[in-house]
Structure 1
């Protein structure tokens, strides 16, 4: 998960070196929009449904049902991925205008978004295949694939952005092309491994003779998870649009901070996937005590690692921000340093929210994480953001205090509801 997020990080970092705050703003805004679509419908939508159902069927030793869910999930997810590609490619300019992009940020953003939307189509297909592998406990192969994607992306980013022979200097467009090539290579590796070596494989026969009841079960499990991510990501996207009104310096500082923080919560997502898979296996075996033990262990480890990331934010804020932009942009570096220090506060509670939410999904409960996310995002985050940006007109640093409040509420509530759900399930 960290390596996949590194693709966005590397694009933002190198474009920041190449084009300053305008480049960071164009790539940051475009990526934020694209990854919102991917997360809502695929990464935290249909993929979670696939992993959860395969985990429980694999735990119950019902491999036929596991392969049927893998087939239905991959087919459904591929259709959704194609639809997202068409929307983002065709209406890239309209989407960025709605987001508040203007001038050079808009022009660069459109070029980046069109190419990156094709790249993310292959990313979504790879994500679906990875969810099948994770469902039966294979997290190593997705790791190797993401490492390969990163190596290709890193080399091509440098060569295509700055113009190292045989490539011309392509700037922002070069970053998008590098991502496209890397994601395509990753997809080829993922589909080859799944067909040849995976314990659970998708088969066309399950699509031709579709079991409608199982298809409905997959969708019913995936929709609340999608809605949970939608509640969070759409509110975050609206928040990003609000911050656009504070100017390019504030927006660049916010995007760099968001990019850095995205790396810190990837360990949380990793342990959330582990919790979904392991809890799902044990629930399939009806071993509820061990299911709880796995959930608690994942939560403690995730919170510890994210807490250490938060400590890094406190100790080295200027160094971290300066990695993404030229040293002459002192206003962006100073503002971003304060933002990243505030972001350190929310790391442990964010881990609890993600991981206990993942454990609930492993138990087949995708509704509870959605309700919690809906409350924290739309009843806490957005009203406070609007009040700070438009009424009080405070600087972007206050936005990060709002997210700290949101995650604290979210993390505490999800722990309480997980304990209650576990107690009821055990009884």
Structure 2
């Protein structure tokens, strides 16, 4: 029944049905990211800068987990659409086992590279020490996050969006509760400072993972995951990473961009690094629902692409884009009208420098929101049709060819006041690329789907 609706339910209602659980889960995640930074900012401005320096590593971790999950999701939904059910099961099996290999990579980073990384980023002793503790906890404890994200993508590919939402809420609420307990040492809990934020994050992820595994292995789904009794097949791993690798690289580019921006801003003032961290948390409250929308439309587009239904594929894309633009427009208005109020949430020390740098930063960077909606939804249709590298090139163009060189030039010309314009300028470059790539994909492949379906009979 759940899979039949992917090809029959009215598209607008199907998008809302599939997307709202993921959007709520993403909003909860964005909220606990904000709460996490709020409590850290109560320690000091340097504490917030320390967490911001570690943020690229967290982004890299999430990029590999999500990118692999996108590849799994795309492959499962395409196989289900083509009614290749055993192939869908094997895609889920391979993806689940791959999550453990991904975790081992980050555990090694946490054990051996934490201190060298923080010493590279800053020479302030408090920032190096607190950032190292936070990073070590996040990376070594990343098993829970990576396994849970993989499980969510498997369930979403079958049309089950409720369980991932519940898991996200459990993880987010747990993190919010644990944050002040471990950061400030309330009651019997130890006072861990910045490291306490890492412990709270890992604790919430552990609880979320436990619920997800119970449902994944005990519930009834369109695919069945088995840990043992099968052998790795290179063909399936290649199929997963044909879409997953570009998604990983695309997300990793964002990590590299953040790493580069931290270096550029750090040469100006570490307050600008803290402001960048504030922006990252605030913009997640706008972008996360769009990413949740993306999770809802991706299996719909993948299913209908596998079923060669061009009309439903394109209708899903167009309506998804419309919803994304509405969300981004709301965010743009909020950032333009209330930048001081937004900055105040993270400025518990009432630093005037934070306001002087942060208020124009929020206004200038948010100009990229609307074109970003087009880029995100175009990336979705590229991934759903197994053309993940088209998304990769767009992300590379925007963030490495666009944002970083522009930020370096603008910082040299006008300092911290101009550097923020690199974001909207780079997004305009990306918009031109995504429009051209989408037009090419439609002409060469999507337009032919109905013809291929007719010839099949």
TM-score range, shorter chain: over 0.9
Residue equivalent to 2:346: 324
Q: Is the 8 A contact 2:58 2:138 kept in 1?
A: no
Alpha-carbon separation, structure 2, partners of 1:93 and 1:5: 28
Moved more, 110-119 or 67-76: 110-119
How far the C-alpha of 1:309 sits from its partner, in A, is: 1.1
Alpha-carbon separation, structure 1, partners of 2:166 and 2:279: 27
**RMSD of the TM alignment (CA)?**
1.7
User: After the TM superposition, which residues 307-322 of structure 1 pair with which residues of structure 2 at under 5 Å, given as runs?
Assistant: 307-322=329-344
Q: Which of 77, 82, 85 is the aligned partner of 1:55?
A: 77
How far the C-alpha of 1:101 sits from its partner, in A, is: 5.0
How far the C-alpha of 1:2 sits from its partner, in A, is: 2.9
Residue equivalent to 1:398: 418
In the superposition, the TM-score normalised over structure 1's length comes to 0.94
> Are 1:380 and 2:405 an aligned pair?
no
> Are 1:25 and 2:40 an aligned pair?
no
Residue equivalent to 1:34: 57
How far the C-alpha of 1:265 sits from its partner, in A, is: 0.9
Alpha-carbon separation, structure 1, partners of 2:405 and 2:291: 27
User: After the TM superposition, which residues 25-424 of structure 1 pair with which residues of structure 2 at under 5 Å, given as runs?
Assistant: 25-30=49-54, 32-43=55-66, 45-100=67-122, 102-199=124-221, 200-205=223-228, 208-389=230-411, 391-392=412-413, 394-395=415-416, 397-424=417-444
How far the C-alpha of 1:109 sits from its partner, in A, is: 0.4
Alpha-carbon separation, structure 2, partners of 1:263 and 1:38: 20
Moved more, 268-277 or 129-138: 268-277
Moved more, 208-217 or 192-201: 208-217
Alpha-carbon separation, structure 2, partners of 1:302 and 1:13: 27
How far the C-alpha of 1:198 sits from its partner, in A, is: 4.7
How far the C-alpha of 1:210 sits from its partner, in A, is: 2.6
Moved more, 154-163 or 283-292: 154-163
Residue equivalent to 2:14: none
In the superposition, the TM-score normalised over structure 2's length comes to 0.88
Alpha-carbon separation, structure 2, partners of 1:58 and 1:170: 47
Q: Deviations over 1:169-188 (max 9, x none)?
A: 32212211111111111111
Q: Is the 8 A contact 2:297 2:316 kept in 1?
A: yes
Q: Deviations over 1:202-254 (max 9, x none)?
A: 21346x32332222222233222222222333123212222111222221122
Secondary structure of 1:254's partner? Answer: helix
Q: Is the 8 A contact 1:100 1:241 kept in 2?
A: no
Alpha-carbon separation, structure 1, partners of 2:294 and 2:168: 18
Moved more, 269-278 or 45-54: 269-278
> Are 1:13 and 2:38 an aligned pair?
yes
How far the C-alpha of 1:36 sits from its partner, in A, is: 2.3
Alpha-carbon separation, structure 2, partners of 1:101 and 1:366: 39
Matched positions, count = 421
Alpha-carbon separation, structure 2, partners of 1:204 and 1:259: 36
Q: Is the 8 A contact 1:89 1:113 kept in 2?
A: no
Residue equivalent to 2:18: none
Structure 1: runs of 5+ lacking an equivalent? none
Alpha-carbon separation, structure 2, partners of 1:355 and 1:88: 34
Structure 2: runs of 5+ lacking an equivalent? 1-25, 449-457
Q: Is the 8 A contact 2:28 2:169 kept in 1?
A: yes
Alpha-carbon separation, structure 2, partners of 1:114 and 1:174: 12
